[in-house]
């Protein structure tokens, strides 16, 4: 840099707007377009009240240090030149100053802030404690902001899309990762306050682990012998009570047929063991159509069949 250029450092220059490129260290990822449009109208009516800050990156080329919104608004207003303060900053200083401007103006969402802090710590090569001191934050506050990045990108987008605050996001960090999305969705859907969000997380942490007691899981029994044994047990109980029930079991056409015969009288009641049985009524286990066989998968060592009680 020449002596003449050095003397210009810190002065306000009127630079061609096309000669200024955006900062590669811009922490902010989302911009309010209606807000920038309103700023453009104000600039057209009143001029740019606060110059942007730039640094030289080549012959008649500059890189933005601070003032992304103002630069965008001036471009939207079709200005050809823009007032800018020429600064002599290296990459580390440029990244830090861009972040500080946004922090001081509270223009970043919590996740942009956390990503910006992480980036300047990387550029500075310092500890969190040193970064907190240089950024004017307490160490716990800085650590809390960085913890937000443990949320998944999808969870971060959910917070941003529903305008959830940093404290809302921090509340769900107490939950296991797999339960955070459900909590964030409920917070957003019910428009919960931070206090209500904390209570929701408390209740989720206090709830017993495992399936809800309102839901009952019915296991699938893959061995049909379980059902055959159940039928046989019922017949055994009848014979123990003096009912002369008989059974027969046969395999045919890939199915199991299980027949239970119970002697009954003309009145439909079960006859005594010594009585001559009237026309017996039959309860049969017979094949069902093949299309229904998938309802009950058989064990690996048993033929495919389905049991149906007639």
Q: What percent of the chain has pLDDT over 90?
A: 28
Residues 241 and 168 in one domain: no
Q: Are residues 193 and 158 in the same domain?
A: yes
| Bridge partners for 248 per DSSP | 259
Is 195 exposed, middle or buried (CB count within 10 Å of its CB: 0-12, 13-18, 19+)? Answer: exposed
**Which candidate, 37, 103, 110, 40, places its Cα nearest to that of 66?**
103
Contact 183, 175 (CB under 8 A): yes
Range of the domain at 163: 151-206
Q: Which of 84, 91, 90 shows the shortest CA–CA distance to 70?
A: 84
How confident is the model over 180-194, as pLDDT tens digits? Answer: 999 999 999 999 999
Residue 249 in this model has a pLDDT that exceeds 90: no
pLDDT digits (tens, 9 = 90+) for 279-307: 444 444 444 444 333 333 333 333 333 34
Tell me: do 81 and 170 sit in the same domain: no
- The answer to whether residue 132 sits within a structural domain is no
Q: Is residue 117 part of a domain?
A: no
Q: What is the pLDDT of residues 206-242, one digit of tens each?
A: 976 555 444 444 454 556 666 777 777 777 887 887 7
**pLDDT tens profile 22-67:** 887 776 767 778 888 888 888 888 888 888 889 888 888 999 988 8
Looking at the structure, tell me whether residues 201 and 233 fall in a common domain: no
pLDDT for 15 beyond 80 = yes
10: in domain: yes
Residue 146 lies in a domain: no
Residue 36: which H helix or E strand, with range? helix 33-46
Catalytic residue chosen out of the listed positions 18, 35, 68, 119: 68
Angle at 175 between CA 173 and CA 178, to 5 degrees: 105
15 shares its domain with 63: yes
If one counts every other C-beta atom within 10 angstroms of the C-beta of residue 201, the result is 20
The tens digit of pLDDT for each residue in 134-180 reads 777 889 999 999 999 999 999 999 999 999 999 999 999 999 999 99
Same domain, 199 and 263: no
91 and 16 in a common domain: yes
Position 308 in a domain: no
Name the domain count of the chain.
Answer: 3
Question: Does the residue 176 lie in any domain?
Answer: yes
d(CA 229, CA 235): 10
Task: Tell whether 242 and 273 lie within a shared domain.
Answer: yes
Residue 87 shares a structural domain with residue 46:
yes
- Domain assignment present for residue 304? The answer is no
CA distance 101 to 84: 15
Residue 171 lies in a domain: yes
Last residue of a domain, one of 108, 140, 163: 108
Is 68 tagged catalytic? Answer: yes
Q: Are residues 12 and 73 in the same domain?
A: yes
Please, which pLDDT band fits residue 310 given cuts at 50, 70 and 90? Answer: very low
């Amino acid at each position: 840099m020449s002596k003449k250029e050095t003397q210009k450092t810190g002065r306000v220059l009127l630079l061609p707007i096309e000669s200024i490129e955006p900062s590669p260290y811009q922490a902010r990822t989302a911009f309010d377009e209606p807000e920038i449009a309103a700023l453009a109208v104000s600039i057209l009516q009143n001029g740019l009240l606060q110059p942007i800050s730039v640094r030289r990156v080549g012959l008649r080329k500059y890189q933005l240090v601070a003032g992304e919104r103002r630069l965008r608004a001036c471009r939207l207003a079709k200005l050809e030149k823009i007032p800018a303060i020429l600064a002599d900053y290296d990459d580390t200083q440029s990244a830090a100053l861009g972040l500080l401007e946004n922090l001081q103006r509270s223009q970043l969402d919590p996740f942009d802030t956390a990503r910006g802090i992480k980036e300047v710590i990387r550029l500075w090569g310092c500890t969190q404690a040193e970064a907190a001191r240089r950024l004017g934050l307490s160490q716990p506050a800085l650590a809390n902001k960085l913890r937000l990045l443990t949320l998944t990108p999808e969870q971060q987008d959910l917070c941003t899309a529903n305008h959830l605050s940093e404290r809302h996001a921090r509340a769900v960090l107490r939950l296991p990762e797999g339960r955070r999305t459900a909590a964030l969705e409920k917070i957003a859907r019910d428009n919960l306050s931070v206090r209500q969000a904390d209570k929701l997380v408390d209740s989720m942490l206090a709830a017993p682990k495992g399936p809800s007691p309102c839901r009952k899981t019915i296991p699938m029994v893959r061995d049909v012998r379980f059902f055959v044994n159940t039928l046989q047990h019922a017949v055994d109980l009848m014979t123990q009570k003096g009912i002369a029930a008989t059974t027969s079991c046969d395999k045919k056409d890939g199915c199991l047929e299980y027949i239970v015969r119970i002697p009954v009288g003309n009145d439909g009641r079960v006859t005594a063991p010594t009585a001559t049985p009237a026309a017996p009524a039959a309860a049969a286990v017979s094949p069902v159509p093949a299309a229904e066989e998938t309802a009950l998968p058989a064990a690996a060592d048993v033929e495919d069949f389905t049991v149906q009680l007639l």
